[in-house]
Amino acid sequence: MDEIREETNSAEAIRQEIKEKRRTYWRGAITGAASVMAVLLIVLLIGIYSGAVVIGGKGGTGGSQTVTASDGDLLSKDVINKLDNLADQINADYYEDVDREDLINGMYKGLFEGIGDPYSEYYTPEEYEDIMISTHANYYGIGAGLTQDKNTMEVSVTHIYDNSPAQEAGLKEGDKIVKVDDIEATSMELSELVTNIRGEEGTTVHLVIEREGESENLEFDVSRAKVDIPTVAYKMLENNIGYIQVSEFAENTPTQFSDAITDLQGQGMEKLVIDLRDNGGGMVVSCQQMLDMILPEGTVVYTEDKYGNRQDYTSDAEHYLDMPIAVLVNGNSASASEIFAGAIRDFDYGTLIGTTTFGKGIVQNIMQLKDGSAIKLTVAKYYTPNGDNIHGTGITPDVEIEYEYTGDTEGTYDEMQDNQILKAIEVLNGEE
């Protein structure tokens, strides 16, 4: 660790001079930021978001409570003055220049950190855009999965999605990206590089690729298009047992899930394994739509806010699967995955196999602000059909079995070497 040295010659005089030169600028910046924060707080507290659940009550469910801006009383004159003084101190004494926008965003983020809830947070416009890509599971890009070596910063292609621009252009897994247009791939973090690969539909991005076995770099002009990221994979196992893996509950997941069921039924599926291991959750509505394809009529999950307002998510009697079902879960199965598993358990409609789930029984809403930024706020608890809130405890499976893979870990994954899948097959075949 570098030794910290303290400069003593005229340090105080220099500090004061810097303060005087920049005090006016930063007081204006912080005052402006504080004003924006005040507006943000008022908006939050009175709940006037277009198309979002109203804070303080469930929009459309009745019984909402009135919360006034004065209840917060957060930005008093003393608080504003302290923010002003802190900014002066940072500007005068911090060893590097500080970006004004970073400080302002830091204040917004700090407001949500003060809640003490790891699931509530503030997003800059850029962060919100990334969140929406994940939520909707589609974006305008080339359809390639990328990874970056943390030491060399080298960027490699790990996956090419079917029917994507990357596949059509001839990119392959294992390719190393040397340049994106005029940008050296190793010159920036992967998250920043990706923003230069994505772009408007129909435009092109020029990629310089290093490929093993090629003596010279290859060049590709790849047209950007809307890319649907697969969240469902499936196949038929032995004895007409269908296998569906769901990696997350995104906006397009119900459609992919429905297509998988239809295809497997066409192949003669008589039993079904649904794999939710390492699925961190996603959209409650997507989860509900998928449960509606499986379960008979009834409430599959319900939420309650702090005012007691309840919202039920239901399955109707029109479609359901009349076959034995096993659901695989583990400690990384969270949120919507636990909603799914809890409904299967409470309907007594299948067997849960694996290890205890994560234990996230609360619901967040993401609400966009007019400037493009957004907030994610925990607004309610959710309950399984039988009234259990599993937050902090998780769901214990019917058959507990730790994961063990007996195949070659360096080779291609084989479901038939996965002991939890094998256990599910045993259960479905009635061998236990």
Q: Where do the structural domains in the chain lie, given as residue ranges? A: 11-114, 138-228, 232-428
pLDDT band at 297 (very low <50, low <70, confident <90, very high): very high
Of the given ranges (137-151, 256-270, 282-296, 392-406), which has the lowest mean pLDDT?
A: 137-151
How far, in Å, CA of 402 to CA of 420, rounded? 8
Residue 65 identity: Q
Q: Look at residue 73 in the predicted model and tell me its pLDDT.
A: 72
CB atoms within 10 A of CB 121: 20
pLDDT band at 257 (very low <50, low <70, confident <90, very high): very high
pLDDT band at 211 (very low <50, low <70, confident <90, very high): very high
* Cα dihedral 64, 70, 71, 73 sign: positive
How far, in Å, CA of 205 to CA of 180, rounded? 7
Mean pLDDT across 343-362 = 97
pLDDT band at 324 (very low <50, low <70, confident <90, very high): very high
Of the given ranges (19-28, 156-165, 166-175, 241-250), which has the lowest mean pLDDT?
A: 19-28
Q: What tokens does 79 get?
A: 């608080």
| Higher pLDDT pick, 119 / 67 | 119
Q: Look at residue 72 in the predicted model and tell me its pLDDT.
A: 53
Of the given ranges (49-53, 165-169, 306-310), which has the lowest mean pLDDT?
A: 49-53
How far, in Å, CA of 205 to CA of 249, rounded? 30
21 is catalytic: no
What percentage of the chain has pLDDT greater than the value 90? 64
Mean pLDDT across 265-283 = 95
Q: Look at residue 5 in the predicted model and tell me its pLDDT.
A: 30
Q: Look at residue 147 in the predicted model and tell me its pLDDT.
A: 82
The residue to which tokens 């992919």 are assigned: 256
CB atoms within 10 A of CB 317: 10
Q: Look at residue 135 in the predicted model and tell me its pLDDT.
A: 66
Of the given ranges (1-5, 178-182, 194-198, 328-332), which has the lowest mean pLDDT?
A: 1-5
Q: Look at residue 229 in the predicted model and tell me its pLDDT.
A: 80
Q: What tokens does 373 get?
A: 């930024």
> If DSSP states are collapsed to H, E and C, what string results for the chain?
CCCCCCCCCCHHHHHHHHHHHHHHHHHHHHHHHHHHHHHHHHHHHHCCCCCCCCCCCCCCCCCCCCCCHHHCCCCCHHHHHHHHHHHHHHHHHCCCCCCHHHHHHHHHHHHHHCCCCCCCEEECHHHHHHHHHHHHCEEEECCEEEEECCCCCCEEEEEECCCCHHHHHCCCCCCEEEEECCEEHHHCCHHHHHHHHCCCCCCEEEEEEECCCCCCCEEEEEECEEEECCCEEEEECHHHEEEEEECCECCCHHHHHHHHHHHHHHCCCCEEEEECCCCCCECHHHHHHHHHHHCCCEEEEEEECCCCCEEEEEECCCCCCCCCEEEEECCCCCCHHHHHHHHHHHCCCCEEEECCCCCCCEEEEEEECCCCCEEEEEEEEEECCCCCCCCCCCCCCCEECCCCECCCCCCCCCHHHEHHHHHHHHHHCCCC
Distance of CA 181 to CAs 108, 171, 184, 212, 221, Å?
Answer: 35, 16, 8, 21, 9
Burial class of 66 by CB neighbour count within 10 A (0 to 12, 13 to 18, 19+): exposed
Q: Look at residue 47 in the predicted model and tell me its pLDDT.
A: 33
- Give 355-403 pLDDT, tens digit per residue: 999 999 999 999 999 999 999 999 999 999 999 999 999 999 999 999 9
Q: Which of 84, 228, 292, 346 is catalytic?
A: 346
Contacts of 113 (CB under 8 A, 6+ apart): 121
Q: Look at residue 123 in the predicted model and tell me its pLDDT.
A: 93
- Give 23-64 pLDDT, tens digit per residue: 444 444 444 444 444 433 333 332 323 222 222 233 333 333
346 is catalytic: yes
User: Pick from 343, 431, 359, 349: which is nearest to 396 by CA?
Assistant: 359
Of the given ranges (17-26, 189-198, 422-431), which has the lowest mean pLDDT?
A: 17-26
Q: Look at residue 432 in the predicted model and tell me its pLDDT.
A: 64
pLDDT band at 325 (very low <50, low <70, confident <90, very high): very high
| Domain boundaries 232-428, corresponding CATH code | 3.90.226.10
User: Pick from 351, 322, 358: which is nearest to 337 by CA?
Assistant: 358
Mean pLDDT across 166-176 = 94
Q: Which of 315, 335, 337, 423 is catalytic?
A: 335
What percentage of the chain has pLDDT greater than the value 70? 82
Q: Look at residue 134 in the predicted model and tell me its pLDDT.
A: 65
Of the given ranges (19-33, 170-184, 243-257, 385-399), which has the lowest mean pLDDT?
A: 19-33
Q: Look at residue 410 in the predicted model and tell me its pLDDT.
A: 77
Q: Look at residue 1 in the predicted model and tell me its pLDDT.
A: 36
CATH topology of domain 138-228: Pdz3 Domain (2.30.42)
335 is catalytic: yes
How far, in Å, CA of 431 to CA of 239, rounded? 13
User: Pick from 42, 44, 41: which is nearest to 52 by CA?
Assistant: 44
